[in-house]
Amino acid sequence: MTPVAEAAYPDALPALSRLHWYVVERVLGQGGFGITYLARDTNLDQPVAIKEYLPIDVATRMGDATIRSRSEELRDRYRWGLERFIQEARTLARFDHPNIVRVQSVFEFNNTAYMVMRFEKGMTLSALLDRRGTLPERELLRILLPILDGLELIHNAGFIHRDVKPDNIHIGEDGNPVLLDFGSARQALGASHTLTILVAPGYAPFEQYYSDSTSQGPWTDIYGLGATCYRAIAGRPPLDAVSRSKGILGSTQEIMVPASVIGAGRYSGSLLTAIDHALAFAEKDRPQSIAEWRRELVAGHTQPPEVTDLRVAPIVTARAENASSTQLRASTVSAPSVPPTVNRESKSSPLPLTPTQPREASDETRPRKPVTIIIVLGAAVLAVGVGAYIATTQRSDETSAKVAALEKQLRDREQAAEAERLAKQKSDQQRADEERKAKEQAAAEEKSQADARKRAEEQARVDEQKRRESASKQPPKDTSKANVSTGVPPSKAPPPPTKSTPVTGEAVASLPPATSQPSPSSSEPPKPTSPPQVPSDLLANADRAMASRDYAEALAILKPLADGGNAQAQARLGDMYTEGRGVGQSQTEAVKWYERAALQGDVALQLKLARMYANGTGVDRNPNLAYVWYGIASRLGNATAKSEQERVGTALQPAEREQLDRQIESRVRPMQKKT
Mean pLDDT, to the nearest integer, of 415-429? 78
CB atoms within 10 A of CB 411: 10
- The alpha carbon of residue 478 and the mean position of all alpha carbons in its chain are separated, in whole angstroms, by 86
Residue 462: the pLDDT is: 82
Residue 406: the pLDDT is: 60
**CATH hierarchy code of domain 122-298:** 1.10.510.10
Is pLDDT at 666 greater than 70 in this prediction? yes
Q: Where along the chain do its domains lie?
A: 18-118, 122-298, 612-675
Mean pLDDT, to the nearest integer, of 581-608? 88
Higher pLDDT, 374 or 130: 130
Distance CA 167, CA 197 (A): 17
In CATH, which superfamily holds the domain spanning 18-118?
A: Phosphorylase Kinase; domain 1 (3.30.200.20)
Higher pLDDT, 244 or 276: 276
Mean pLDDT, to the nearest integer, of 508-528? 44
32 contacts 56 by C-beta, under 8 angstroms: yes
Lowest-pLDDT range of 382-386, 464-468, 516-520: 516-520
Burial of 348-374, coded b for 16+ CB within 10 Å and e otherwise, reads eeeeeeeeeeeeeeeeeeeeeeeeeeb
Q: Band the pLDDT of 19: cuts 50, 70, 90.
A: very high
Higher pLDDT, 284 or 332: 284
Three-state SS for 63? coil
pTM: 0.47
Q: Band the pLDDT of 530: cuts 50, 70, 90.
A: low
Distance CA 68, CA 293 (A): 43
Q: Band the pLDDT of 273: cuts 50, 70, 90.
A: very high
Is pLDDT at 578 greater than 80 in this prediction? yes
Distance CA 542, CA 554 (A): 4
Mean pLDDT, to the nearest integer, of 560-564? 88
For residue 347, the surrounding DSSP H or E stretch is none
Lowest-pLDDT range of 116-120, 148-152, 227-231, 445-449: 445-449
Mean pLDDT, to the nearest integer, of 499-506? 40
Residue 235: the pLDDT is: 93
How do strand 46-53 and strand 112-118 relate by DSSP bridges? Answer: antiparallel
DSSP for 554-566, please give it. HHHHHHHHHHTT-
CA 539, 545, 548, 551 dihedral sign is negative
